[in-house]
A and B are shown apart, each in its own frame.
Chain A
Amino acid sequence: NAGVTQTPKFQVLKTGQSMTLQCAQDMNHEYMSWYRQDPGMGLRLIHYSVGAGITDQGEVPNGYNVSRSTTEDFPLRLLSAAPSQTSVYFCASSYLGTANEKLFFGSGTQLSVL
């Protein structure tokens, strides 16, 4: 099993550019989520999904879009990048149910917006 795979590992964008961060998991997890990590801020939830076709907003959703067309994939889209979106992004997945909190994380995407 590869677990949770994120691409790219690093990305530099100019303000106003768009891009998609990819996330894939091969564990058949129903639940997938995106977090951003900023110095001194911990991990903040951006969007999450409990299954294909179902998404919902987290704590900091503005400026980000998601979709879930398959169980395996959960891409995060930045339509018009802003410097405030410079951060490290983590995708995480888990089973639903009583143990749904056992999130498995990808290795992260470091994004810089100039």
Chain B
Amino acid sequence: GQQLNQSPQSMFIQEGEDVSMNCTSSSIFNTWLWYKQDPGEGPVLLIALYKAGELTSNGRLTAQFGITRKDSFLNISASIPSDVGIYFCAGRGRGSNYKLTFGKGTLLTVNP
């Protein structure tokens, strides 16, 4: 099946710093999604990307659909304590019907 490699696994940063994380796929994806999960809650969609090269922002968050269609990046600018959580990338490739593949997540800790 399709595999997603998400990195880094965890990050510990100071409030105000910028954050970058990425996902790479072993095959071409048609859709990339980024989710955030707060403790004890289900993941919440942050950004959806549908075209190669697409760059989309949601407040302090910016995500890009890689031009090769095999990777995606999420950047968070000027981090704040409430950015703490687990960030997941997810993607759907050709022939995968309605199945989304999720990365293993990046645990972000922000030190006030």
Contact = CB atoms under 8 A, between A and B. Distances in A.
B99 A42 contact: no
Interface of B: 1, 4, 6, 31, 33, 40-45, 48, 50, 88, 90, 92, 97-100, 102-105
B67 to A, nearest CB: 20
- Which of B6, B33, B97, B98 has the most C-beta atoms of chain A within 10 angstroms of its own C-beta? B98
B104 A105 contact: no
Contacts of A96: 98
Nearest to A31: B98
Given A96-B98, A106-B42, 18 more contacts: A4-B42, A42-B6, A43-B43, A43-B102, A44-B102, A45-B100, A50-B98, A59-B99, A90-B42, A98-B50, A101-B31, A101-B48, A101-B100, A102-B33, A102-B45, A102-B48, A103-B43, A103-B45
Interface of A: 4, 31, 35, 40-45, 48, 50, 56, 58-59, 90, 92, 96, 98-108
Contact of A103 (B1, B50, B100): B100
Contact of B99 (A58, A102, A106, A108): A58
16 contacts: A40-B104, A42-B103, A42-B105, A43-B102, A44-B102, A45-B99, A48-B98, A59-B1, A99-B48, A100-B98, A103-B43, A103-B45, A104-B45, A105-B42, A107-B42, A108-B40
